[in-house]
Each structure stands twice: as structure tokens, then as C-alpha cells.
């Protein structure tokens, strides 16, 4: 069977929600030696750390309200065509959310595996401004 999703080569993220992004960055940098690959600051609430696998990153997502559930996370795939991927997954009866566009930054939607675990599908921003 041919894969119908066009993944970007060497680009996979795993994401954790954190209540203190500075503390989390320090922990992963000092404890595991993960270097910061991209940082949006507290205003954006997102930081990426390079993992020791080519192209793999750990995303730290600042959760501003509510409790953090330890051990929870989101597997994130970066794809070349967000709309085609969403259509493909829906054709396989995979539950998906609406696409969220953050201009000049990212476009994404969530889907769920057979056990109800969230998977996020991201791409280059569809909205340029």
C-alpha cells in the first residue's frame, strides 16, 4: 500500500504542555543537553529543543490556564500538504478537528488514534498575513 501522506523528511515533534516554560527549557537543556532549536518567548509560549535523533524535536507548549497532566503529550507530524492530509485521514474515518491558522507561524489540526490519543498535524502557515 502506498503512503498517502507526504511527510517532511526528518521532521517529527513530541510536545509537552508545561506551566513554566523557562523552568522546562532549563531542565531539558541542563539535564539532557537538548539545545534550543527555536524559541518564541513567553508571549508565543512555544519552544523547540533538538533531540538526539536527526530531525526530531521536543516542543514545549506553555499552558497558561488549568492543570498540567503529567505524562500527557501530543505526537506531532509536520506535513507538506495540510489540506490533503486532513482529507486523507477523514477518508479513513479518523476524527479530526478544524484547521487552525496562526498567520505567519503555523497551520494545524488535531486527530485522534484508535485509543483517543491526540495527534497534531502541522504545516507551513496557510495564512501569510
pLDDT digits (tens, 9 = 90+) for 70-123: 667 788 889 999 999 999 999 998 999 999 999 999 999 999 887 687 889 999
Q: Write the CB contacts of 51 (distance below 8 Å, at least 6 apart in sequence).
A: 14, 34, 57, 58
For residue 128, is it within any domain?
no
- Cell 506551566 sits at which residue? 19
d(CA 43, CA 45): 6
In this prediction the pTM is 0.70
Q: What is the extent of the structural domain holding 108?
A: 9-123
State the pLDDT at residue 70.
Answer: 67
State the pLDDT at residue 71.
Answer: 62
d(CA 76, CA 85): 13
Q: How would you classify residue 115: left for phi > 0, otherwise alpha for psi between -120 and 50, otherwise beta? A: alpha
- Residue 5, Cβ neighbours under 10 Å: how many? 13
State the pLDDT at residue 3.
Answer: 67
CATH number at residue 95: 3.10.180.10
**Mean pLDDT of all residues in 60-65:** 86
Question: Helix (H, G, I), strand (E, B), or coil: what is residue 124?
Answer: coil
User: How many domains are contained in the chain?
Assistant: 1
For residue 4, is it within any domain?
no
For residue 105, is it within any domain?
yes
Q: Confidence class of residue 1 from pLDDT cuts 50, 70 and 90? A: low
| Residue 68 confidence (pLDDT) above 80 | no
| Residue 43 confidence (pLDDT) above 80 | yes
For residue 36, is it within any domain?
yes
For residue 2, is it within any domain?
no
Amino acid at each position: 500500500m502506498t503512503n498517502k501522506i507526504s511527510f517532511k523528511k526528518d521532521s517529527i515533534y513530541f510536545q509537552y504542555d508545561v506551566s513554566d516554560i523557562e523552568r522546562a527549557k532549563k531542565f531539558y537543556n541542563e539535564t539532557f543537553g537538548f539545545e534550543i532549536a527555536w524559541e518564541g518567548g513567553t508571549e508565543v509560549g512555544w519552544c523547540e529543543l533538538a533531540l538526539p535523533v536527526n530531525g526530531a524535536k521536543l516542543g514545549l507548549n506553555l499552558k497558561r490556564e488549568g492543570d498540567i497532566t503529567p505524562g500527557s503529550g501530543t505526537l506531532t507530524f509536520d506535513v507538506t500538504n495540510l489540506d490533503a492530509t486532513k482529507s486523507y485521514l477523514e477518508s479513513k474515518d479518523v476524527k479530526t478537528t478544524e484547521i487552525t491558522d496562526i498567520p505567519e507561524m503555523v497551520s494545524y489540526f488535531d486527530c485522534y488514534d484508535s485509543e483517543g490519543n491526540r495527534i497534531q498535524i502541522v504545516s507551513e502557515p496557510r495564512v501569510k498575513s
